[in-house]
Amino acid sequence: MPFNRPTLADLVSRAESDIQSRLSVGPLLKRGFLYVISRVVAGAAHQLYGNLEWASRQLFPDTADAENLERWASIWGIQRNAATYASGSAQFSGTNGVTVASGTILQRGDGVQYVTTVDATIASGTSSIPVTAVVAGSAGNVGAGTSLSLVEAQSGVGNTIAAGEISGGADTESDAALRGRLLERIKQAPHGGSQADYESWAKANAAVTRAWVYPSYLGVGSVGVAIVSDDRDGGPLPDTETVDAVQTYIEARRPVTADVTVFAPTESPINLQVHVAPDTEFVRAAVIAELEDLIRRDSKPGGKILLSRIREAVSIAAGESDNSVVSPTANHQADEYALPVIGTVEFV
């Protein structure tokens, strides 16, 4: 039978009844000794029931808390993905011949810092120097051209910008993501290179949220693995560093006869025209959030996004009372290896 934790009020009532029956006394006087004892006993029992309820959740990996979830995962050979450091290059402008030392600290406008990893000398007015975020996590990712400044000014060094994307940073794996990988591992035991194995290997990378496997991708004996990073600021398509990292990880585990290619799918944007009532900023934001959630749940390379699902997503947006989806007017079918994504959303 299911375990049901009694409420504190129920335990107080039980304690009062027990005292009355065992001591053959009438109703307990408020603030009397027996009245106080009944509350003390009930409070202690309530804490014990709380501990039992917590312990019951730890018995199963789908309800265990963070500490015990990690213990369950370790039994199955799965570790929580640690946060990773964003890396890339910063372009320094300045006087020719000036050396920028390894360990020089740069700072973004919001306070996120980066450190140079090699000594470099400015030539032809500029120098592109490898940098790594000081703190691990997705906050270190930044787009090309973003302005950076020296924490300590250096003579002969002027403006600094991100030479390209500084990327590859990912936050520590969440409990939900770790639990999902663990349950997948329990349900899908390794089969020496099955489809489930490749998906599991791909999602062992902290930045990868979804993966798809294509047998005979480039011919007999080949396997294609498409990956996406739904939590990436620049969109779901992973950066080159993530693709390369997943390729390296799978290469070390694949069957020796398999020729594996890890790749990012292309985008297949869905451009929408939507009328909503009331037409407020709050409702518009809610509609976009629901559409993005739909795409994350339903999209896959070469997949179809049903018009009915788009209409449903708009209809369940918080604050919406009426709507019409003007465009698209039919289901959206993506090309092979192309991932449906939200394009432009125009409110009309």
> Whose structure tokens read 């639990």?
179
Same domain, 177 and 147: no
- Does a structural domain hold residue 1? no
pLDDT tens-digit map of 33-60: 899 999 999 999 999 999 999 999 999 9
In a domain, 2, yes or no: no
User: How far is it, in rounded angstroms, from Cα 267 to Cα 341?
Assistant: 6
Question: Domain of 72?
Answer: 65-82+173-187
Which CATH number belongs to the domain containing residue 242 in this structure?
3.30.300
Kindly state whether residues 151 and 102 are assigned to the same domain.
yes
Residue 2 has pLDDT above 80, yes or no: no
- Domains in the chain, number: 5
Final residue in a domain of this structure, among 229, 263, 297: 263
Residues 342, 292: Cα–Cα separation, whole Å: 7
Asked if residues 227 and 238 have their Cβ atoms less than 8 Å apart, the reply is: yes
Question: What pLDDT digit, counting tens, does each position of 216-273 carry?
Answer: 999 999 999 999 999 887 789 998 989 999 999 999 999 999 999 999 999 999 999 9
Residue 231 lies in a domain: yes
Please state the pTM of the whole predicted model. 0.67
* 238 inside domain: yes
Does residue 32 form part of some domain? yes
Q: Are residues 308 and 338 in the same domain?
A: yes
Contact (CB, 8 A) for 297 and 309: no
* 81-131 residue pLDDT tens: 999 999 999 999 999 999 999 999 999 999 999 999 999 999 989 999 999
Q: Is there a domain that residue 145 lies in?
A: yes
Residue 295 lies in a domain: yes
Amino acid at 258: A
DSSP for 132-189, written as a single string:
EESS-SGGG-B-TT-EEEESS--TTEEEEEESS-BB--BPPPPHHHHHHHHHHHHHS-
Domain for residue 167, yes or no?
A: no
